[in-house]
Structure 1
Amino acid sequence: MYFLSRELYFPSVYNASPEGIVAIGGDLTTERLLLAYRSGIFPWFEDDEPILWWSPPERMVLFFEELKISKSMRNVINRGIFKITYNTAFKEVITNCRSISRNGQDGTWITEDMIQAYTRLHELGYAKSVEVWQDNELVGGLYGIDLGTVFCGESMFSKVSNASKIAFIALAQKLKRENYRILDCQVHNSHLESLGAREIDRETFIEIITN
């Protein structure tokens, strides 16, 4: 296993462990985080762990032409009960992603250090958010890293039914209009699979984000 020093460097993703760990340690500076995402790597760890850097052998992504919107979701969208905004409440979105209760999870991987690091990235225009509002209350959203042609989704939350799906669909449609290549969803998630996301192998993913 490769342990990072202060040097701004990551080993090849093809040297990752079988489960996908590329390196351990390092820091969450803006420069290191951007290098990681541009290399197909993302941090994922808990408060009591060192920083773990991942590039899993199978990557969950959405190709925009494969976006699935069910009839029931189309009805929800057409009713106009939700308002969508972009980058108006980043800190609130990431904080809600941290605090929201999730089935099968005791805690969260979004540490206070992570919130500070991604807020810095947001201030520099790299980390972006989608907000879903109902009756002027923030009820759902997501955030991630914008690489210009690829959006790397990090986390989402929902306080009412369908709110996170609405955020995902709105973002996917926006990125398609802006000619992005894919929406990176990182690891398998049945929630996102129902919206059309699927797994591709690491090599294909790296080829997409680096060419």
Structure 2
Amino acid sequence: MKELKGKEYIRFESIKHTREDGSEYWSARELGPALEYSKWENFHNVIKRAMIACENSGHSVSNDFPEVRKIVEAGAALKPKLDYELTRYACYLIVQNGDPRKEVIALGQTYFAIQTYRQELADHYNQLDEDRRRLVVRGDIKQWNQLLAETAHDAGVITNEEFAIFQNAGYMGLYGGLDVDDIHVRKGLTASQNMC
């Protein structure tokens, strides 16, 4: 499968809405055209199939597909127009039930699968106590530092002295020009204490 393209990522991010409580939703009336559905009726059929999948998976259709009515001009009169404020999960189900011949559906499947996974990770992380969060962060930092060391080595930073200079330059970038010794003084650390 193709990697998710930046412009396709923007296609879905640009129509995402955020409520005052921080929760996100997508308007079905905006998602349909983003998924290249030109007729509401055709897209609404996809939404209905996704609602069935939602219900069968034990989720609440009213929570993931809340119905809203928007007032729009229809000639000289105003009339209500059906819309849905779709959760990320609802969007995921919609693209799973969309027309598989459309490339944008495959891109939507990738986008919403990644976003759903990221949210699950964030929710899991937020449920951890402070000590466990610290362990997760330390593990991440260890992996990134290993990757940084490998990249520096590939770029020609070979000796311990070169690596120390490289690391110090990184600290100077993070701490507004302060080198390792300056940071120790600022934090009140002894020379043998780790800055982390």
Question: What is the TM-score with the length of structure 1 in the denominator?
Answer: 0.24
Higher strand share: 1
Say which structure is richer in helix.
2
Between structure 1 and structure 2, the one with the greater Rg is 2
